Amino acid sequence: MRYLSHTPEDLSIMLQAVGVRDLDELFSTIPDDCKRENPLDLPEMTEWELNDHMAALAGRMVSGADYKVFAGAGSYHHYIPEVTRYLLSRSEFVTAYTPYQPEISQGTLQGIFEYQTLICRLLGMDVANASLYDGAMAVAEALLMAIRISRRKKTVAVSSLVNPYYRKVVETYFKPTEFHVVELPRREDGTTDLSGLDRIDDLAGVAIQSPNFFGCIEDLAAAGQAIHDQGAIFITCFSEPLAYGILKAPGALDADIVCGEGQSLGIPQSFGGPGVGIFAAKQQYVRNLPGRLVGQTVDADGKRGFVLTLSTREQHIRREKATSNICSNQSLCAMAAGMYMAALGGTGFRELAALNRDKAEYLKSALQDAGLEIPFAPATFNEFVVKFPDGFDQKWQALLQKKILAGIPLVCYYPELANHYLLCVTETRSKDDMDALVKEVQS
Q: What is the pLDDT of residues 216-260, one digit of tens each?
A: 999 999 999 999 999 999 999 999 999 999 999 999 999 999 999
- pLDDT at position 323: 64
In a domain? residue 41? no
In a domain? residue 166? yes
Length of the chain (residues):
443
Q: In what order do the strands lie in the sheet with 408-409?
A: 383-387, 420-424, 408-409
List the CATH number of the domain containing 306: 3.40.640.10
In a shared domain, residues 162 and 281:
yes
In a shared domain, residues 262 and 392:
no
User: What's the rounded mean pLDDT across residues 325-330?
Assistant: 60
In a domain? residue 274? yes
Distance CA(181)–CA(174), nearest Å, equals 7
Residue 405 domain boundaries: 64-78+347-442
CB of 350 closer than 8 Å to CB of 246: yes
In a shared domain, residues 107 and 234:
yes
In a shared domain, residues 260 and 384:
no
What percent of the chain has pLDDT above 90?
A: 74
- pLDDT at position 39: 84
Domain final position from 341, 367, 389: 341
User: Residue 94: is its pLDDT beyond 90?
Assistant: no
Domain final position from 313, 341, 369: 341
In a shared domain, residues 87 and 159:
yes
In a domain? residue 18? no
Give the pLDDT band of residue 330 (cuts 50, 70, 90). confident
In a domain? residue 142? yes
Give the pLDDT band of residue 413 (cuts 50, 70, 90). very high
In a domain? residue 54? no
Number of alpha carbons in the 13 Å side-chain half-sphere of residue 182: 19
Cβ within 8 Å of residue 102, ≥6 positions away: 109, 305, 306, 307, 308
Residues in a beta bridge with 310: none
Domain final position from 308, 341, 374: 341
- pLDDT at position 1: 42
List the CATH number of the domain containing 399: 3.90.1150.10
In a domain? residue 115? yes
Distance CA(201)–CA(408), nearest Å, equals 36
Give the pLDDT band of residue 327 (cuts 50, 70, 90). low
In a shared domain, residues 307 and 401:
no
In a shared domain, residues 174 and 214:
yes
In a shared domain, residues 143 and 219:
yes
In a shared domain, residues 134 and 151:
yes
In a shared domain, residues 227 and 366:
no
pLDDT digits (tens, 9 = 90+) for 178-215: 999 999 999 999 999 999 999 999 999 999 999 999 99
Distance CA(243)–CA(352), nearest Å, equals 9
pLDDT digits (tens, 9 = 90+) for 2-40: 566 788 899 999 999 999 999 889 999 999 889 888 888
Work out how many domains the chain is built from and give that number: 2
In a shared domain, residues 290 and 220:
yes
In a domain? residue 140? yes
In a shared domain, residues 88 and 69:
no
User: Residue 96: is its pLDDT beyond 70?
Assistant: no
